[in-house]
Structure 1
Amino acid sequence: MKTNILIIGAGFAGVWSALSAARLLDRAKRDDLSISVLAPQPELRIRPRFYEADVHGMKAPLGELFDAVGVQFIEGHAQGIDAQGRSVSFTGANGQPQQIAYDRLILAAGSQVARPAVPGLGEHTFDVDQMESAMHLEQHLASLAALPASPARNTVVVCGGGFTGIETATEMPARLRAVLGDATVRVLVVDRGAKVGAALGAGITPSIVAACEQAGVEWLAGTSVVAVDAGGVTLDNGEYIASKTVIWTVGVQASPLTAHVAGERDPFGRLKVDDHLKVVGQAHIYATGDTAWAAVDDVGNHALMTCQHAIPMGRHCGNNAMADLLGEQPVIYRQPKYVTCLDLGDWGAAFSEGWERELKLQGQEGKALKRNINGVWIYPPVADRAVALAAADPAIAIAIAIV
């Protein structure tokens, strides 16, 4: 049996880990090692776009790409990790429990929206966290046209004023108009921050304010939702807002699979990794993407739970796991350049650089860049072996990072 690298997850970090591991194996000209990816479906789902309409098409098939580079795909849902026995239990495509051994494990299982104990949150809110939930929201929005006009039908409440909340809210007026026509619609952002865009810093706040004013998006700053029911939300100040559409975007947590691996964690549940993305305290397990608490520079900044960091982390992680098996030197993961490109609906987008988010582009100039990011740059390479392996080199410099 071949020595095996097993990658859990086919998101950005998992796909690029697989390609990078295949690249190093190709260079070594060895046929005694293998690379496997375990995930529910052989497709990269373009999660950063799930706030948009027509979400069902926001995916890229991986079967031909993996075949081209010699990566085996295993369809299934990972259930548990036995770090001592070096095996992963999973539910296969046939619904039966199965197990697979590994020599090196790359945990790239991603993250999920955080769901605190807010009464009614589970039953009465939507989210854009996964393709299925984003499609559920889309179907719900379409169904609003069949309801009689009312403030509740015409009102969308977005809980959370971070990146996902802002992009969802500023896109929502156009999505509602497409369904409800000339009806008077209302979109509100409920956020605990003291002012509009508080979580994103002063550099891009004016762009957020301008975009929200143009779209008619209201902010209820300095407040939070304490309960949700079938008719709307209750705020911490006692106010009740009638709404048939409440969208939850408040925070994310690393995959529950991280709990199966002993190690230090950050508040998001991510496993602390060393400079080579190996889980601290583990000899055979690496973590990457949203499961990894990784330093991006030497001044205290850490990777965020975005594809901006997941793609380069994947390139480094797959390389290093394969280097470990080949007896080669690993590469240090560092990504000091940080940018953001925040979509702001019809108004445009805001592009910033640095951890202080210094504004560089806004409006339609920013929108053109965002369209390239969302529509081209974050998609995987074509199913050509030479092209795909070349694209997985961890030494590739990121000219413009992506969010």
Structure 2
Amino acid sequence: MKQRILVIGTGFAGLWSALSAARLLDLQARDDIEVCVIAPKAELHVRPRFYEADVARMNAPLDALFTAVGVRFIAGWVSAIDSTSQCVTYRDQHQAEQQLSYSRLILASGSQVKRPPLSGVEQAFDVDSLEQAIALEQHLLGLAELPESLARNTVVVAGGGFTGIETATELPARLRAILGDEAALRVIVVDRGERIGASLGTQMAPLIAEASAQQGVTWCLGTSVSAVDAGGVTLANGERIEALTVIWTVGVQASPLNAQLAAERDGQGRLHVDRTLKVAGLANLYAAGDTAFAAVDDEGHHALMSCQHAIALGRSAGNNAAADLLGVAPIDYRQPKYVTCLDLGAWGAVFSEGWERKVMFTGAEGKQLKTQINTEWIYPPAAVRASALAAADPLIPVVA
């Protein structure tokens, strides 16, 4: 009976975990170990692009790629992990409960936006999943059929972090395309910070403020949304904003599957892992992407919930899970190079390097890089066995 490396998830971490495991098995000429991926669909949802228009096309089919590299795909929704018996429970396409054993497990089931227990928060949209981003786009398109009003023309973005900024600065152009150039539009970011873009550092903050002002995006600072209803939001400071569209971008939590495991987690629910990405205290279980609290260097920095880190985490986790079964030496996950490329709508984009976020490119030049990242660099490789496996080498640097 074949041993099995089981990967949960087809996000960036899951995809690259599977490819990297298949790569090492191929290099070792081993066909007695199978790589298996389980997820609802054999497709990568390009989550970093969900703030853009035409979001329904932001996915990439993986069937042909998996077939080319010899990865087995199972359509299913994992509901439980038994780390003692090394088995997962899942619902198949017919909603029947199934079980699948593993020799090594890579948990790459991602994360989700965390909605606090606020009145009406369930009415807010988000850009966290493809389904939610499509629902938001359909809602925005439907605004054109409603009578002109202040609330119709207003969008409130709750949260001024990376996702909130990219969403807010993209919205003026999206809304003008729907409602016309003459509509009196309002895009309002509500953020607890005392300064626009404060979470992204001193060099990027003034550029975010400039881009916001140029595009008519306003900020309500030093407060937060305390309630959402059909007609708008109430802020913690008592202010009322009439709006038919509210988008929630505050807070992200790791996959709920993490909570089932008797292991140490950080404040976002991510599993503590060692330098080989093995989950601390659990045998034969690895974590990658948004499920892992992983050190990227020796300076105290940890991987962020981003595709930039998920790709490299996946390459390392897949390699090391396979290495563990093969009895060869694992590699230490390291990702000391960190970049940020923030889309700022029609203004352009800002590209920075390092954890201090030193600005390198702005405006049109930054936008060109962002476009390359979003449309080329983060997409899966072509379904050609040799080149796809070569791309999964964990020593390849990732800058996307």
Match for residue 38 of structure 1?
Answer: 38
Unaligned runs of 5+ in 2: none
One-letter code of the match for 1:313? Answer: L
When normalised by structure 1's length, the TM-score is 0.98
Residue 156 of structure 1 pairs with residue 166 of structure 2: no
Match for residue 203 of structure 1?
Answer: 203
SS in 2 for 1:79: strand
Unaligned runs of 5+ in 1: none
Match for residue 256 of structure 1?
Answer: 256
Match for residue 309 of structure 1?
Answer: 309
- Which whole-Å CA distance do the structure 2 matches of 1:367 and 1:359 have between them? 13
One-letter code of the match for 1:276? Answer: T
Residue deviations 1:65-120 (CA, integer Å, cap 9, x gap): 00000000000111010111101101101111111000100000000001111111
Residue deviations 1:169-222 (CA, integer Å, cap 9, x gap): 000001111110121100000000011001111111121011101110000111
Residue 86 of structure 1 pairs with residue 86 of structure 2: yes
- Which whole-Å CA distance do the structure 1 matches of 2:174 and 2:389 have between them? 39
- Which whole-Å CA distance do the structure 2 matches of 1:42 and 1:139 have between them? 24
In the TM superposition, 1:67-146 aligns within 5 A as 67-122=67-122, 124-146=123-145
Match for residue 325 of structure 1?
Answer: 325
- Which whole-Å CA distance do the structure 2 matches of 1:31 and 1:275 have between them? 27
Match for residue 191 of structure 1?
Answer: 191
Match for residue 289 of structure 2?
Answer: 289
SS in 2 for 1:268: coil
- Which whole-Å CA distance do the structure 2 matches of 1:277 and 1:128 have between them? 28
SS in 2 for 1:153: coil
One-letter code of the match for 1:308? Answer: Q
Residue deviations 1:310-330 (CA, integer Å, cap 9, x gap): 001111000000000000000
- Which whole-Å CA distance do the structure 2 matches of 1:353 and 1:31 have between them? 41
- Which whole-Å CA distance do the structure 2 matches of 1:304 and 1:279 have between them? 17
Match for residue 397 of structure 1?
Answer: 397
Match for residue 242 of structure 2?
Answer: 242
Residue deviations 1:370-394 (CA, integer Å, cap 9, x gap): 0000000000100000000000001
Q: Offset at 1:348?
A: 0.1
Match for residue 228 of structure 1?
Answer: 228
User: Aligned residue pairs: how many?
Assistant: 399
Q: Offset at 1:262?
A: 1.3
Match for residue 374 of structure 1?
Answer: 374
Residue 335 of structure 1 pairs with residue 340 of structure 2: no
Match for residue 170 of structure 1?
Answer: 169
- Which whole-Å CA distance do the structure 2 matches of 1:373 and 1:30 have between them? 34
- Which whole-Å CA distance do the structure 1 matches of 2:215 and 2:118 have between them? 29
- Which whole-Å CA distance do the structure 2 matches of 1:57 and 1:288 have between them? 26
SS in 2 for 1:169: helix
SS in 2 for 1:227: strand
- Which whole-Å CA distance do the structure 1 matches of 2:73 and 2:311 have between them? 19
Residue deviations 1:114-139 (CA, integer Å, cap 9, x gap): 111111101x2000000000000000
Q: Offset at 1:397?
A: 2.5
Match for residue 60 of structure 2?
Answer: 60
- Which whole-Å CA distance do the structure 1 matches of 2:221 and 2:91 have between them? 43
One-letter code of the match for 2:187? Answer: V
Across the aligned residues of Structure 1 and Structure 2, the Cα RMSD in angstroms comes to 0.6
When normalised by structure 2's length, the TM-score is 0.99
SS in 1 for 2:223: coil
Match for residue 147 of structure 1?
Answer: 146
- Greater CA drift, 154-163 or 255-264: 255-264
SS in 2 for 1:350: strand
SS in 2 for 1:145: helix
SS in 2 for 1:37: strand
- Which whole-Å CA distance do the structure 2 matches of 1:57 and 1:338 have between them? 28
- Which whole-Å CA distance do the structure 2 matches of 1:46 and 1:391 have between them? 18
One-letter code of the match for 1:318? Answer: G
